[in-house]
Structure 1
């Protein structure tokens, strides 16, 4: 009787050691830091090169700005022309969460009426909205109603069927 218990115990230990070895070999093929990482950080938009910005002093022409910094992310032409170079950093804590904007940098280059750089400004997330972005929603007419209120209002208009007399 003691022999059979020892054999079963040895078999269990052997099976356990084999499973641990297989798990270790399998996990060694994975990058452990990527396996445990659930958050993501996204950098989007224009990457500002400080040396390129230094080559565009006040008084530079519009063409010099375009050669040094490239095409702007956005332009505005109200009184005088403005070039905006926009970048932002978004963070998502887990795959199922909506990304949140944690940093925004806006380089604004203002031109005078002669097309020369008048001033250069840097805006960040703490400066608020410099301009409106697209909200991705379309307003519609009528009232916002919940499903339940639509169901209740819809049941009031259901006509009753005539009763047959028996």
Structure 2
């Protein structure tokens, strides 16, 4: 009897262990053989970086001489919001001769929280209230004797 109760309790609690184990999601650049920080300044060129690492995650917005390789690992416990477990950003800056000038490495600790203005841009027109949306078309129903063109009366003339 006691062994049966323990077995039943174990089977009931087994699905709950899945909630205690975090699921990991990998986003962005995942290196194959060569790591982005293995690139040597002064030796590698734009074409050798492209051949070794592939295309970058993104390029600089105003300066296309900087390539970024971004990878992100997030952990999620059950139904909670995912949290960043690891973030790696490698910036490779090229000089005028297409050789690598410098390789910069950033982690999640280097990031900064940016506050932005949550204002909305006003648009033309007006917003309808609930009652206007419900009863707004009550007076605009056309009578069948109107001079409106319909599929069965393309000219709109009264018959």
Same fold? TM cut 0.5: yes
TM-score, structure 2 as length reference: 0.56
Indicate the residue corresponding to 1:146 in structure 2: none
Picking from 49, 63, 75, the partner of 2:47 is 63
Secondary structure of the structure 1 residue equivalent to 2:47:
helix
* Cα RMSD, aligned residues only: 3.9
Aligned length: 120
* Structure 2 unaligned regions, length at least 5: 124-128, 132-159
Question: Aligned partners of 1:83 and 1:101: how far apart in 2?
Answer: 22
Please identify, of 109-118 and 121-130, the stretch whose mean Cα deviation from structure 2 is larger: 121-130
- Give the structure with the larger helix fraction: 1
TM-score, structure 1 as length reference: 0.54
Change (3 A) 1:139 1:99: farther
Do residues 36 (structure 1) and 17 (structure 2) align?
A: yes
Change (3 A) 1:40 1:109: same
Indicate the residue corresponding to 2:60 in structure 1: 76
Indicate the residue corresponding to 1:141 in structure 2: 122
Indicate the residue corresponding to 2:104 in structure 1: 121
